[in-house]
Amino acid sequence: MKLDRRNFLKGTAATAGALFLGNLASDPKQTYAAQPIGSKSDHFAMLTDLTRCVGCRSCERACIKANNLPLPKVGFFADVSVFREKRRPDAQNLKVINSYENKKWKGPVYRMVQCNHCAEPACASACLVGALKKTPEGAVIYNEDLCIGCRYCMTACPFYIPAFDYFNAGSPAIRKCNMCYHRIVNGMTPACAEACGVQAITFGKRSKLIKLARERIRTGTDRYIDHIYGEHEVGGTDWLYISGVPFEELDFPMDLGTTPLPEYTRDFLSVVPFVLTVWPALFGGIYSISKRREQIAEGMDQKKKEDTKR
Amino acid sequence: MNEYAKQTHISRSWIIDRIFLGLTLGEYFKRLITPFNIGAGIIILVGLALIGIRFTEGLGAVTAASQEQPWGLFLGWGLFAGVPLSATGFVLGTAVYIFGIKEYHPVVKNAILIGLLGYLFAVIFLLVDLGRPWRLPYPMFVSFGTASVLFLVAWHVALYLTCQFLEFTPSICEWGGWKSLRKRALAITIGLTIFGIILSTLHQSALGAMFLLAPGKLHPLWYSPYIPALFLISAIAAGLCMVILASLLSEWFLKDQADTAYLVSLDKITLGLGTASSFVLITYFAVKIIALAHGNHWNLLMTSYGYLFLVELFIFTLLPSFLFVFAGRSGKVGLVQFTALLTIIGVIFNRLNVSLFALNWKLPHRDFFDWREFLILLAIVTIQILVYRWIVLRMPVLREHPEFKDEHMVTYT
């Protein structure tokens, strides 16, 4: 038996079939995988001046109201007992204020924790159904109607921000700050910025906020340290912070680097089309070789048999 | 007897033969009452009750998952460890059908069945763990998160599950007696195998690539640009070793379901797969060292996470690769089987390290898992074993079907 036309065609068809199926299956990935998940255009952003914050938590209350979340039992202005522990945003609270003792000033420094709205968000690139999106306005928003509850966004977020309803079996959702997107698109300021009585939170275009932050650092003599947190961290965030004490003393993660996190997986995804196109040819070829070798061996066996017969 | 009665009679005997192993209902259920089955039943009932709680009170009621550590044993075991251990069909299918190593042919059907069930139960673990499991088809049909590595994993696991089902279809057809369907299913073996290689190389490595997104969270000893390659290579080792171990277990517990050709081939196959595993493991060891050097994290080796890493590197990677060589040279089948177990434990250990223990290592306080989570896991694995046994007791997996005995290499003509 030898490699005749029929067998050749069969083998070719099998290889072509695998190639076709492989490409069909991967079509969406190939087309979009290389596209960046965010954009570097001038978004709306927020600037938090931690030297101004007095820890009144009006922003927390405004946030709860703007997002129709249940009101907590503890009071807001008077009750400082909440500062005894470091809190984090969860399913009921999208923004929290924590208090830090420091060497620079007598009073505590207050730090607010909420989504930082990365320019190229890891959570949005992690989401396999596109429930998390970076909007052209700058906010990273969440669509509960698409979420399947895999919680990869929580693993991906370098700031540990997205929270999940662990005690809701029917419709558990991810909860995080959406920069009051519903207010922004109607020309309003995010609720927390509007509620702040000491102008610790400023809303505006990112380029303007960076200029403002630089101006404050320059004119404030020793009031500020020379660092705008969020200007470059993980490729830049749309929530910026300036502070009087080093950010590491306020539990800001300092080892994030300046590379947008989605870039780390983009390289991997770009290998996909290569595997899809080269593997069928490669393994189809190996198959043909091993099959041919076998046919030759079979032929030799038959020859031997014939020889012994003679 | 009229035509209709004849037909129903045939179908009833078909059911009795194929489903109830030729016994009457009474006899069949009497036979089911064994100490093993009673134990398994209790484990499953407890697990189902806990799964009931999970679906009424939420994931928080049965797991230790937190806002910082969203994934636990369900994904750590079911997906991240379960998928590499199910590479059996992929590695054996490639060896037999593509590389033409015919001597492994007796175990290839078993390897495909183990792979098929492994992926099926990975999806079942996923269904328990997802917040809204009824939306599982969303990434396929509703909304495409194309920049996500998990999107690739979801598609590939779904496609590969289908692919492996088709690869196993000939055995199902032999059991059911559907000859023409069997022929058609056999005709696409090579195409399916190549498709399976594409899907497996991509999603096995993609499971590792998922963690590339969390550089600050995964401990530097495990975080590396090489993690996709490491996951793929170790999955090949896991697949080979699972076939070795499954062959041993079938020899112990399912001997009456196997034919002589299968049983006499096992020792030689075990030695061969052991030698192959030694090559794969030494490659894995080398890439792990390159990754360590590339990250320049030697200074972290003498920390508590470093000890975990060193155990993985020396006890679960280098030691088994030497043991495989030694056992292969001296023909010690038992040692190959022990080493296979060691390797499998090592791969599970690695996947749990990456997805659980070394992830979020900077957090001061962490709970890894809840006892209820562990009981659910035990119940699902028990169901998996029972489903495997149900199939092997009925379909020709460890044996050739007498009617089709001489045409088992049909794919080569």
A35 touches chain B (CB under 8 A): yes
- From chain A, pick out residues whose CB is under 8 angstroms from the CB of B217: 155, 158
Contacts of B144 in chain A (CB under 8 A): 28, 32, 129-130
Quote the tokens at residue A14. 């099998």
Q: What is the per-residue pLDDT across B220-229, written as a single tens digit (0 to 9) for each?
A: 999 999 999 9
Spatial distance between the Cα atoms of A159 and A95, rounded to a whole number of angstroms:
13
Cβ atoms < 10 Å from Cβ of B239: 30
Q: How close does chain B come to A303, measured CA to CA in Å?
A: 19
Which pLDDT score is estimated for A71? 82
Q: Is the pLDDT of residue B245 over 80?
A: yes
Q: Residue A119 CB: number of other CB atoms within 10 A?
A: 24
- Which of B94, B132, B142 lies at the smallest CB-CB distance from A172? B132
Which residue of B lies nearest to A20 if distances are taken between CA atoms?
A: B195
List of residues 6+ apart from B302 with CB closer than 8 A: none
Q: Are A122 and B213 within 8 A, CB to CB?
A: yes
User: With bands split at pLDDT 50, 70 and 90, how would you rate the model's confidence at B411?
Assistant: very low
Which pLDDT belongs to residue A42? 81
Chain B partners within 8 Å of A9 (Cβ): none
DSSP state of A237: B
Contact B144 A253 (CB under 8 A): no
Identify which of A127, A94, A117 has the alpha carbon closest to the alpha carbon of residue A43. Answer: A117
> How would CATH label the architecture of B42-400?
Up-down Bundle (1.20)
pLDDT over 90 (residue B154): yes
Chain B contact set for A116 (CB, 8 A):
none
Q: Touching check for A182 and chain B: CB below 8 Å?
A: no
* Neighbouring C-alpha atoms within 13 Å toward the C-beta of B2: 1
Q: Which ranges constitute the DSSP H helices of chain A?
A: 5-32, 58-66, 122-126, 152-156, 181-184, 191-195, 206-219, 262-309
- B90-125: pLDDT as tens digits: 999 999 999 999 999 999 999 999 999 999 999 999
Give the chain A residue nearest B148 (alpha carbons): A126
B127, amino acid identity? L
Count CA atoms within 13 Å of residue B137 on its CB side.
3
Is A163 part of the contact surface with chain B (CB cutoff 8 Å)? yes
* A54 has a chain B CB within 8 A of its CB: no
Closest by CA to A126, choosing from A170, A167, A162, is: A162
Partners of residue B230 in chain A, C-beta under 8 Å: none
Cα–Cα distance measured from residue B67 to residue A153, given in angstroms and rounded to the nearest whole number: 11
Query: pTM to 2 decimals?
Result: 0.89
Rounded CA-CA distance B208/B394 in Å is 37
Q: What are phi and psi of B66, to 5 degrees?
A: -135, 180
Alpha-carbon distance values, B213 to A122, A268, B2 (Å): 7, 11, 68
Rounded to 10°, the helix B189-209/B179-187 angle is 60
Contacts of A257 in chain B (CB under 8 A): 215
A138 token code pair = 């700058």
Contact A225, A103 (CB under 8 A): no
The pLDDT confidence band at residue B323, using thresholds 50, 70 and 90, is very high
Torsion angle defined by CA atoms of residues B32, B38, B44 and B48, in that order, rounded to the nearest 10 degrees: 100
Mean pLDDT, to the nearest integer, of B6-25?
77
- Mean residue pLDDT of chain A comes to 86
> Which pLDDT value is given to residue B307?
96
Segment B257-283 shows an average pLDDT of 95
Amino acid A34: pLDDT: 44
Confidence of residue A39 (pLDDT cuts 50, 70, 90): low
Min Cα distance B71 → chain A (Å) is: 8
Locate the chain B residue with the closest alpha carbon to A260: B213
Average pLDDT of the residues in B34-53: 96
CB contact under 8 A, A257 and B210: no
For residue B153, the chain A residues in CB contact (below 8 A) are 128
Sequence-distant (6+) residues with CB within 8 A of B406 are: none
The nearest CA of chain B is from the CA of A135 a distance in Å of 15
Residue B192 has pLDDT above 80, yes or no: yes
Strand runs labelled E in chain A:
44-49, 96-100, 109-113, 132-134, 140-142, 163-164, 174-175, 201-205, 239-242
CA A233 to chain centre: 13
Summarize the confidence of residues A152-172 as an average pLDDT: 94
| Alpha-carbon distances, residue A37 vs A57, A123, A266 (angstroms) | 33, 10, 10
Question: What's the CA gap between B139 and B356, in Å, rounded?
Answer: 25
Checking if the pLDDT of A30 tops 60, the result is no
Nearest to A119 by CA among A274, A232, A204: A232
User: Looking at residue A298, what is its pLDDT?
Assistant: 82
Helix (H, G, I), strand (E, B) or coil at A148: coil
Cα–Cα dist A102/B179, whole Å: 80
Contacts of B65 in chain A (CB under 8 A): 151, 164, 166
CATH among 3.20.20.140, 3.30.70.260, 3.40.50.720, 3.30.70.20 for A44-260: 3.30.70.20
Q: Do A268 and B149 touch (CB under 8 A)?
A: yes
| CB within 8 Å: A146 and B138 | yes
The pLDDT tens digits for A232-259 are 999 999 999 999 999 999 999 998 999 9
* Whether A238 contacts A45, CB under 8 Å: yes
Which of B147, B193, B412 lies closest to A262 in CB terms? B147
Give per-residue burial for A241-254: e unless 16+ CB within 10 Å, then b. Answer: bbbbbebeebebbe
pLDDT band at B2 (very low <50, low <70, confident <90, very high): low
Interface predicted TM-score (ipTM) of this complex, two decimals: 0.90
Between CA B266 and CA B334 the distance in angstroms is: 12
For residue A27, pLDDT beyond 70? no
Q: Give me the mean pLDDT over the A161-173 stretch.
A: 94
Chain A: closest CA distance from residue B313 (Å):
25
Minimum CA–CA partner of A30 in chain B = B146
Q: What is the mean pLDDT of residues B44-66?
A: 95
Interface residue A263 vs chain B (CB under 8 A): no
The residue in chain B having the minimum alpha-carbon distance to the alpha carbon of residue A280 is B194
Does position B63 have pLDDT exceeding 60, yes or no? yes
Q: How far apart are CA B375 and CA A270, in angstroms?
A: 40
The residue written with tokens 């090949």 in the block is B236
Mean pLDDT of chain B: 92
Residue A172 with chain B: CB contacts under 8 Å: 58-59, 131-132
pLDDT above 70: residue A3: no
Domain boundaries in chain A? Answer: 5-32+266-309, 44-260
| pLDDT over 90, % of chain B | 84
Exposure on the CB side of residue A86, measured as CA atoms within 13 A: 11
Going by pLDDT thresholds of 50, 70 and 90, the confidence category of residue A299 is confident
CA atoms within 13 A on the CB side of B203: 30
Distance CA A135, CA A220 (A): 34
Residues of B in Cβ contact (< 8 Å) with A272: 152, 202
Q: Is residue B195 pLDDT above 50, yes or no? A: yes
Query: What is the rounded distance in angstroms from the CA atom of residue A216 to the CA atom of residue A183?
Result: 28
| Average of per-residue pLDDT across B82-91 | 96
Rounded CA separation B156/A69 (Å): 39
Whether the Cβ atoms of residue B339 and residue B324 lie closer than 8 Å to each other: yes
Residue-level pLDDT at B22:
83
The residue extents of the domains of chain B are 42-400
For residue A1, the model assigns a pLDDT of 43
pLDDT(B253) > 50: yes
CB distance B152–A269 less than 8 Å?
yes
Residue A180 confidence (pLDDT) above 60: yes
Q: How far is CA B8 from the centre of its chain?
A: 39
Cβ contact, residue pair A256, B99, below 8 Å: no
pLDDT of B182 over the 70 cut:
yes
Token representation of residue B209: 């690539």
